[in-house]
Structure 1
Amino acid sequence: MVVPVSRALDAVAVSPVIEIGDLDGNLRRLGAALDGFGDETPRLVVLPELATSGYVFADRAEAQELAITRDDPRLVALGSRLGANTIAVVGFAELDGDDLYNSAAVLTHSGILAVYRKSHLWAEEKLVFTPGTDAGMLVDTSIGRLGVAICYDNEFPEIPRALALGGAEILALPVNWPLVPRPEGERAPETIQAMASARSSRLPTVISDRRGAERGVPWTGGTAVIDGSGWVVAEERDGVAAASVTITSDKVVGPHNDLFADRRPDLYRAHESS
């Protein structure tokens, strides 16, 4: 019998000022946001979706002008600011030949560890980007097995569940959540979905969202850290949400239940209407 091992991990979501079209300025501000994480503390740092370019493109041509390749030395330079035990995830518009992708790079002090391409495109993203071919990404890192998804990906419960079943110990979620109406006193629906996914798989989730507005689109400001019980344990203040979360492979809930062992995949099929 394998005895689950638990450990604490610093989880940080950072939401710096991002200006549409200002690639060089955004890269400078992202670098400044990462400058405080050069020590030896094990941690995950998450920055927003399309953080290098901005999000509300006038058209595909503008997005193409702001896109960079996955081996761009400016991305590598962002990672060089990190300590040896810090992993950062940053969203960028990725140029690959004639294709554009809404991507997220996993950065380390020594380079780019992996790149994920968003597979579920939202609204006008479909007019700009090519969808990725993977439902989220798993990466083995110095802080453990990391799951990565981007924004609308997480609204499909299959993705965080599959990442957790694949061994993800924590989920990095760069997002740009447009503000939508909700009842007074309620959290954003995207936050509620992330809380439910975290709870159902005991998967701590680190969300970096935008602040303010861009070209008339107001952002939710949903930057937060969610623990493995599904509770929001840190929300954005002055552009940062930070908390220590428990990383564990233990899925036991009470004396008689286990979130993974109790699954009945033989029953999970589409039901035909009568």
Structure 2
Amino acid sequence: MYFRLRILTLCAAVLGIITLTLTGTMINTASAKSSNELQPFKVAALQFNPVLNERDKNVDQLLKVIEEAFKNGAKLVVAPEMSTTGYYYKDRDAIRPFVDTIPGTTTKRVEQLTKKYNAYVVLGLAERDPETDLFYNAAAMVGPQGYAGKYRKTHQWESEEHWAAHGDLGVPVFNTSLGKIAINICMDAAYFESARLAGLGGADILAFPTNSTAQAIAALQARAQQNGMYIISANRSNTEIDYHMIGASAIWSPMGVKLAETELLPDKSKDINEPTILYGIIDPKEYKNKNKQALANRRPELYKELMLYIAPWDYTKNTTPHDINAGIVQYEPVIGNVAANKQKVAELISASVAKAHKESNSLHIIVLPELSLTGPMDNQSIAAVKALAEAADGATTRFMANLAKANQVAVIYGLIEQEGDRLYNSAIILDKDGNFVGKYRKTHLGDSDKSWAAAGDKLAVFITPELGKIGVLIGEDAVYPEAVGVLAVNRADFIAIPSAWRGQYGSYMTIHPDMSANKYPEGSMVTWDAVAIGGQAYTLVANFVGTKAEYLGRSSLYTLDPLYGLDQPAVASGDKEEVFVVKFKTLQSQWWYNQENLVLSRRTPYYVPLIK
């Protein structure tokens, strides 16, 4: 064979049971069948490594690899970002000889194969717009009928900013005979909005051309879960002008299950210049799944602040980093027995604070699970829930205020709040003297809340002189990246998530363990990590253990950038009662990627579908 071929194939079946219809940008490229009519089909991610400045030779070689995948039965092939030219160009003049129009010469050559094999290709290339002479980091889709459409990268990395205009097409969704296909490119994955726009457009599959060192491909398990869609990621596996791309191309299911992955190549000594083809199976019956159904539970009326571009000037943001020692309370509640739970919580907190003082390492804040002293209300009658409800300044708050004051530690806790004839799943923040700082009412209710709780009507960040700006989410709120985005726009320095998690959403992280310079601990959870990374805010999660509902513990600290070695996530056990103590420093303003850079690089004009 004329090139080294690596073939990895793995098929996993994921149960999909619920239908959801969404509106979005739909572009018809073929007569589409319903997912029930479609049979499972093979897809391929091409780990193809172009040679810089050799467009014509690259296209020749790329076509050979595409045809090899087609001959092996692939019906959809995804090639990497900038797969016809190589990646690094210092300016417009440097790349001008190698750009192509879309449609153009390259797509014409590709469509000879897609027509012959009745299949589809998505490939990254440098595009020239003939009307404006602007260049774009783009991707083209070519199918059985020829050129089908294109996507222009919305969120760019620094390298292409020197020659490429920002993408201006939004995130189109192409209606094909294989299902609805959208495209994101590389750095897009660092912004939840890119994949979410595809999800809201009804995408079943996200094609993901990339040239990644870790960040972009590390986000894909979360993006698949958040939107209930397959993702086919095609990365490079070599080094170009000291820029090393780590391979690890992968195929993810709508439930965030890794169906196939190529070898991860940690440094340039492991470069593989020859093409690698990664195969996987897509089952259209999984296009209908519970993660896609969850899109119907979004609260667009709460997300308007996603459209705000408060940059580069924002005089409301905190500019003072805080060194924070936090205690995360993890325990097994006695459901409905407030007195027993009070005793246990008081003992755990007092012992933890005393230990910290003995070590000259005072705690600054304590975070407890949601509905902290009652336990979760799964399968409880309305009468039982009402009997435990109280005003926001009721007995639970008085108890917590005394704990805070006695131990000189701020506290975030949850309760069943009653206001008038309404009940809320609420969280309250008290400062170290027991004074009220703020209250948040859960805005995205879980199944265990819906029988009794009204949904809150605002996402908020709370200002504290000693700790900075605190965002609060509760339980299932974390499933919705829009909620995290609002907290980031409002410059939360860290986020607290009181939870009652037993596996009803999310899953444990299965990104390649060697992808991160500082490895994720066993039991790290995708949804919670996506909050910290997506909002660029340290995230504290407090969860229960045990009970008949089998709460899974794993209370945790998720951090801003373990991938490139800034900081280290920390995860508690799955069954131990404890106050899990963690330390972090907010803001990290000198790091290459942080909340400031996230906010500055958001592309708000294209986020309008998120708030409708």
What TM-score comes out, normalization by structure 2 length? 0.40
Cα deviation code 1:39-64 (max 9, x no counterpart): 69572210011111110114321211
Q: Structure 2, unaligned stretches of length 5 or more?
A: 1-16, 20-34, 264-274, 306-459, 464-612
Aligned counterparts, 1:227-246, within 5 A: 227-236=253-262, 239-246=276-283
**Corresponding position: 1:127 with 2:159:** no
**C-alpha separation between the residues in 2 aligned to 1:74 and 1:156?**
29
Identify the residue that residue 11 of structure 1 maps to in structure 2.
43
Q: How high is the sequence identity, in percent, across the aligned residues?
A: 26
Cα deviation code 1:164-207 (max 9, x no counterpart): 12111100010111x2xxxxxxxx34333111010121111001
**C-alpha separation between the residues in 2 aligned to 1:100 and 1:171?**
23
**Corresponding position: 1:260 with 2:295:** yes
User: Structure 1 residues 235, 100: closer, same or farther in 2, change over 3 A?
Assistant: same
Identify the residue that residue 75 of structure 1 maps to in structure 2.
107
Cα deviation code 1:124-165 (max 9, x no counterpart): 211100111133221111211111111111221112122112
**More strand per residue: 1 or 2?**
1
Cα deviation code 1:42-100 (max 9, x no counterpart): 72210011111110114321211111111323321122113453110011111124211
Q: Which amino acid aligns with 2:98?
A: L
Q: Which amino acid aligns with 1:160?
A: A
> Does the CA-based 8 Å contact 2:81-2:211 persist in structure 1?
yes
**C-alpha separation between the residues in 1 aligned to 2:146 and 2:182?**
18
* 3-state secondary structure, aligned to 1:260: helix
User: Structure 1 residues 189, 38: closer, same or farther in 2, change over 3 A?
Assistant: closer
Q: Which amino acid aligns with 1:243?
A: G
**Corresponding position: 1:90 with 2:123:** yes
* 3-state secondary structure, aligned to 2:147: strand
* 3-state secondary structure, aligned to 2:295: coil
1:206 to 232, 245, 251: 232
Give 1:262 deviation, angstroms: 2.6
**C-alpha separation between the residues in 2 aligned to 1:224 and 1:128?**
29
Q: Which amino acid aligns with 2:290?
A: V
**More helix per residue: 1 or 2?**
2
CA radius of gyration, larger in: 2
Identify the residue that residue 175 of structure 2 maps to in structure 1.
140
Identify the residue that residue 559 of structure 2 maps to in structure 1.
none
* 3-state secondary structure, aligned to 1:146: strand
Identify the residue that residue 211 of structure 2 maps to in structure 1.
176
**C-alpha separation between the residues in 2 aligned to 1:96 and 1:201?**
31
> Does the CA-based 8 Å contact 2:90-2:163 persist in structure 1?
no
Greater displacement, 45-54 / 131-140: 131-140
> Does the CA-based 8 Å contact 1:227-1:246 persist in structure 2?
no
Greater displacement, 91-100 / 76-85: 76-85
> Does the CA-based 8 Å contact 1:201-1:251 persist in structure 2?
no
1:251 to 279, 289, 298: 289
Q: Structure 1, unaligned stretches of length 5 or more?
A: 180-187
* 3-state secondary structure, aligned to 1:259: helix
**C-alpha separation between the residues in 2 aligned to 1:147 and 1:115?**
9
* 3-state secondary structure, aligned to 1:225: strand
Give 1:38 deviation, angstroms: 4.3
2:89 to 30, 45, 57: 57
> Does the CA-based 8 Å contact 1:227-1:233 persist in structure 2?
yes
* 3-state secondary structure, aligned to 1:53: coil
**Looking at both structures, which has the greater relative contact order when contacts are Cα pairs under 8 Å and sequence separation is at least 6?**
1
> Does the CA-based 8 Å contact 2:69-2:277 persist in structure 1?
no
Q: Which amino acid aligns with 1:88?
A: V
* 3-state secondary structure, aligned to 1:261: helix
User: Structure 1 residues 40, 225: closer, same or farther in 2, change over 3 A?
Assistant: closer
RMSD: 2.4
Identify the residue that residue 452 of structure 2 maps to in structure 1.
none
> Does the CA-based 8 Å contact 2:18-2:289 persist in structure 1?
no
Cα deviation code 1:249-274 (max 9, x no counterpart): 42326xxx941233233333544654
Count of paired positions: 261
**C-alpha separation between the residues in 2 aligned to 1:261 and 1:137?**
20
* 3-state secondary structure, aligned to 2:85: coil
Identify the residue that residue 252 of structure 2 maps to in structure 1.
226
Runs (4+) off by over 4 Å: 2-7, 37-42
Greater displacement, 243-252 / 114-123: 243-252
